[in-house]
Amino acid sequence: MEVRTLDYHTAGEPLRIIISGMPEIPGDSMLARRRYMRDQLDHYRRFLMLEPRGHADMYGAVMTPPVSADGDVGVLFLHNEGYSTMCGHGIIALVTAGLEHGLFPVDPGDVRIDTPAGRISARANIDAAGGVESVSFRNVPSFILEENLPVEVAGMTVRCTIAFGGAFYAYVDAAELGFKLVPSEAPGLIGLGRQIKQAVTEQYSIHHPDGDEALNFLYGTIFVLQGERQFHSRNACVFADGELDRSPTGTGVSGRAAIHYARGDIGLGQELLIDSIIGSSFRVRCLEESRVGSLQAVIPEVTGSAHILGRHEFFLDQRDPLSDGFMIR
């Protein structure tokens, strides 16, 4: 096995983009391709995401041909546990890399990406020197599934809002749980975030009202800390098997936009600035109203920046007893 990658980061969160070495992934939809890779090609995920080539918080992307007639590229997202349905920081890095390295034919002002969660439309914001300054993407319809849901966690009642922004998250108040969302709190956030995710999964049925059943799972927990200024706050997202997002989480801030719009905190076009646990930022706004089944929804637009880290050429030594990878959390 020989695999080549481009590594980027978006607001501190890594993205390892596989550019060669993967076999063809069949399927007439991105969800079908996600299932095929999970069932038939998972050794590639373990090979690149887990130690010793990756680490517990690594994240990856596999490009495929689009499944739609007018798409530019398809993408599957990988992490320490499996496969995401959508990833905002991944979209930002993929579009940046696509333009900087000619990975797929694209109009910088209209990049059409097929994901398991649906069509994503992005545009690159170009600086004076012709480089990619940032990327803005129009996400799938985002909505609240359940407001103020009480779940029992570690002997206490935690109130969650369940919302969708390409994946489902449980949003909780960081201050009520004693967090300031700083890097030194990472072990506590990961531990409680995993407990909340497990409790919600056990005590509540996640169901997307207008989507494939493969979307019906809780991806993670997002701790929210309101800022001192209006329209400014901080996120810490614990997802997959205890991964702590270094970015503000693109799908997570999309859910945040849906929550605040439904509550009347913001109107169409009103921008939120949301920081991550390391202080990097995404901007998000609601472009228009939508509906998902009987639920009110919005179409969010998220903006952030990505930067190249390097190139890798990975090899599999057939004698290597650790070829399947491992993870220490």
Residue 238 lies in a domain: yes
pLDDT band at 250 (very low <50, low <70, confident <90, very high): very high
Mean pLDDT of 181-210: 97
Residue 325 lies in a domain: no
Residue 315 is encoded by which pair of tokens? 């090899």
pLDDT for 312? 97
**pLDDT higher than threshold 90 for residue 329:** no
pLDDT band at 70 (very low <50, low <70, confident <90, very high): very high
| Domain identity same for 168 and 280 | yes
pLDDT for 248? 98
| Domain identity same for 130 and 152 | no
pLDDT band at 16 (very low <50, low <70, confident <90, very high): very high
| Domain identity same for 210 and 267 | yes
Tell me phi and psi for residue 169, to 5 degrees: -130, 155
Residue 291 lies in a domain: yes
| Cα(5)–Cα(214) distance, integer angstroms | 28
Higher pLDDT pick, 162 / 210 = 162
pLDDT for 211? 82
Q: Measuring CA to CA, which residue among 12, 79, 10, 8 is closest to residue 277?
A: 12
**pLDDT higher than threshold 90 for residue 163:** yes
pLDDT for 306? 98
Residue 18 is encoded by which pair of tokens? 């596989």
Q: What pTM did the predictor assign?
A: 0.97
| Domain identity same for 161 and 201 | yes
Give the chain's domain count: 2
| Domain identity same for 17 and 120 | yes
Are 53 and 314 in contact by the 8 Å Cβ rule? The answer is: yes
| Domain identity same for 124 and 198 | no
Mean pLDDT of 95-122: 95
Domain of residue 30, residue span: 2-136+308-315
pLDDT for 87? 98
Q: What percent of the chain has pLDDT over 70?
A: 100
Residue 322 lies in a domain: no
Query: Is residue 217 exposed (0-12), middle (13-18) or buried (19+ Cβ within 10 Å)?
Result: middle
Question: What are the beta bridge partners of residue 221?
Answer: 170, 238
pLDDT for 153? 95
pLDDT for 105? 83
pLDDT for 212? 87
Residue 325 half-sphere exposure, CB side, CA atoms within 13 Å? 21
**pLDDT higher than threshold 90 for residue 20:** yes
Active site amino acids: 87
